[in-house]
Amino acid sequence: MTKISLTSMKQYLKKSIESFNQNKVNGLLAELNLRKYLSDLGYSDRISAGGWIIRSTGPGNFGKRNIALFPETVHPDTEYPEGRTFSQPDPGLYSICSVLHSIEIDSYFCTPVIKNDDSAISLIWYACQLGLPSQQPFKPLHEHLDTFQKRTSGKNFLLNNANTEMIPDISVPDLFSKEHLRVTVADMVDFEISDIDGIFYGRSKVYPLEIKEKTAAYDKQLGPYFGLDIGPFAKLAFYSARTGNMHSIYIVREIDDKRTRNLVQWWVITYRDLAGFASWFPWQGGQSMTGGSSTVVRIPKSAFSPLDREHIALL
């Protein structure tokens, strides 16, 4: 038996996540809601699964290498034995990774093997590089990380005790897969990391997505506005600074209030417009997803466009 239960996934997340609050839950739900919304509009095959983008660190080496990792979702009570024929990624991910490769972001599809039944720590990852002209073989993940600085500290990343009871069961497999992959890489090398909410494949461009659930705030100079934390803002800038056919976008699921989470409207803005309309003065925001206070960039709501079928068709 080489499978893992939903209960063991939750126990792992409890240990791996430093903190978990309602903002993080709402972020997970917003991602699920967006995928359903795009699927209802007939675009389910145009958005990738989530993953991670990591880059090298160290004096003189910071940011010299950038890679994207897309894990296969580990489904509970499904066999992942050694020696199995590895799963292949969705066809759209090949096209997305080809664009990423053209702007010097190497991309890998990661697939699991479970050695001991219902044991998260026995799960290991294999990866193959996508975006190259020919099919690449699967190799142990660490073989793709040899240009990163090896971790020398003995930090244990599974000593947390986060309250994960609020995580919806439907979100657990995706979150577990991403978290397990993050911890696996953290045990091997030093890096800076940020999550990939998803990547949308448009008519001729690829759009890394930043997805948030927000209520509109108000300022007498900006009018109604949405905020974006400095970290995600810098990540969108990183994508947009790359030449080629990649143009990052910020998607907001506007809700009426945080208690009911009733949908008001889906909104979208490209990073180019975001940078052009964002207030030049950072603002103290509310609680971040990690539980602390956040500094945000404010963007007038009037700069966004409705994320409807007509707008999506233009991307």
Q: Say which residue the tokens 């919304």 belong to.
A: 37
pLDDT classification of 292: cutoffs 50, 70, 90: low
- Quick one: average pLDDT of 55-76? 95
Q: Do residue 235 and residue 167 come from a single domain?
A: no
Count of structural domains, the chain: 2
Last residue of a domain, one of 175, 196, 217: 196
Q: Give the strand pairing for 249-255 and 223-229.
A: unpaired
Range of the domain at 305: 202-314
Query: Could you tell me if residue 94 is inside a domain?
Result: yes
Q: What is the pLDDT of residue 170?
A: 92
Beta carbons of 76 and 3 less than 8 angstroms apart: yes
Tell me, yes or no, whether 1 lies in a domain.
no
Least confident interval from 119-123, 125-129, 172-176, 256-260: 256-260
pLDDT for residue 287: 56
Residues 248 and 100 both lie in one domain:
no
Provide, rounded to the nearest whole percent, the portion of the chain with pLDDT above 70.
Answer: 96
- Is the confidence at residue 289, as pLDDT, over 70? no
Contact 210, 232 (CB under 8 A): yes
The stretch 23-45 carries a mean pLDDT of 90
Check residue 291 and give its pLDDT.
53
Which amino acid appears at position 160 of this protein? N
Q: Across residues 60-77, what is the average pLDDT?
A: 95
Residues 189 and 140 in one domain: yes
The answer for 234, left when phi > 0, alpha when psi is -120 to 50, beta otherwise, is alpha
226 and 102 in a single domain? The answer is no
Confidence band of 120 (pLDDT split at 50, 70, 90): very high
Same domain, 102 and 228: no
The residue out of 172, 196, 220 marking a domain boundary is: 196
- The beta strands (E) that lie in 105-240 are given as 105-114, 123-130, 139-140, 192-196, 199-201, 206-214, 217-219, 223-229
Angle between helices 172-188 and 6-16 (to 10 degrees): 50
186 & 212 share domain: no
Higher model confidence: residue 244 or residue 277? 277
Round to whole Å and give the CA distance between 298 and 282: 7
Alpha helices in the chain (DSSP H): 6-16, 22-40, 91-102, 172-188, 230-241, 271-277, 309-314
Q: What is the mean pLDDT of the chain?
A: 92
205 with 247: CB under 8 angstroms?
yes
Among 155, 176, 196, the domain boundary falls at 196
Whether the predicted pLDDT of 79 surpasses 80: yes
Q: Give the pLDDT score at 134.
A: 92
pLDDT band at 152 (very low <50, low <70, confident <90, very high): confident
Residues 117 and 265 in one domain: no
Q: Indicate whether 35 and 180 sit together in one domain.
A: yes
Query: Ramachandran region of residue 14, left (φ > 0), alpha (ψ -120 to 50) or beta?
Result: alpha
